[in-house]
A = this chain, B = another copy of it.
Amino acid sequence: MLLKTRKTTTQAKGRRFAIVASKYNGRYVNSMLKAARETLHQSGASEVLVVRVPGAFEIPVMVAELAGRKKNELSAIICLGVIIRGETTHAQHIAEAVTSALVHLQVEYRIPVVHEVLLLENAAQARARCLDAERNRGFEAATTAIEMAKVMGSLRKISP
C-alpha cells in the first residue's frame, strides 16, 4: 500500500478532519486525496469527512460551510485541487482568488485550512506533485493538518 513505509504518528488520535477536493483533473486530485485520507487514518483520526466539489473555485464556499457548521468538531480542513494553466489568464485569477479566500477563511474562523490547490503549468508538474509516491502533496497536506491541529490544541489547553 502506498503509504506503508512512511513515517506516521498517532498524533491525530481521536481528531476529526474534513477534506474538500475538486473533481476537475481528477486523476491527480484523487491521488492526493487517497494519500491524505490514508495518512489521517493511519495517524489515528477518528473521522475524515470528504466532500467533492466540481472545480477549484467551488472549494472556498464548501470550506466556509464546513467551518461555519462544524468549527468545534473539526481540527482542520484540507483543500485539494489541481488547476492547469490554459491559454487565458482565467486559471491565474481563480488560483489567486482561491488562495486569498482560504487564508481569510482560516483567519475568520480560526481553524487551520491546508492549501493544496495547485496552479500548475503542465501535466508533468501535476505528475511530480500528485502521482509520485514519495512526494505526494496529499501526504504533506495531511501531516500539516495533523501538526496544526496539535499546535492549536496545545495553545487552547494552556489558555482556554
Contacts and interface: CB of A to CB of B under 8 A. Distances in A.
A60 interface: yes
A22 to B, nearest CB: 11
Interface residues of A, number: 57
The SS class assigned to the A binding surface is: helix
A119 B97 CA distance: 15
Contact of A94 (B54, B92, B110, B115): B115
A151 B53 contact: yes
Contacts of A119: 88-90, 93
Nearest to A68: B110
A96 B95 contact: no
Contacts of A68: 110
A112 interface: yes
Interface in A40-95: 51-55, 57-58, 60-66, 68-70, 87-90, 92-95
Interface of A: 51-55, 57-58, 60-66, 68-70, 87-90, 92-108, 110-115, 118-121, 125, 143-144, 147-148, 151-152, 155, 159
16 contacts: A51-B151, A51-B155, A54-B148, A60-B106, A61-B107, A64-B110, A68-B110, A88-B121, A88-B125, A93-B96, A93-B119, A96-B99, A97-B99, A97-B103, A98-B103, A100-B100
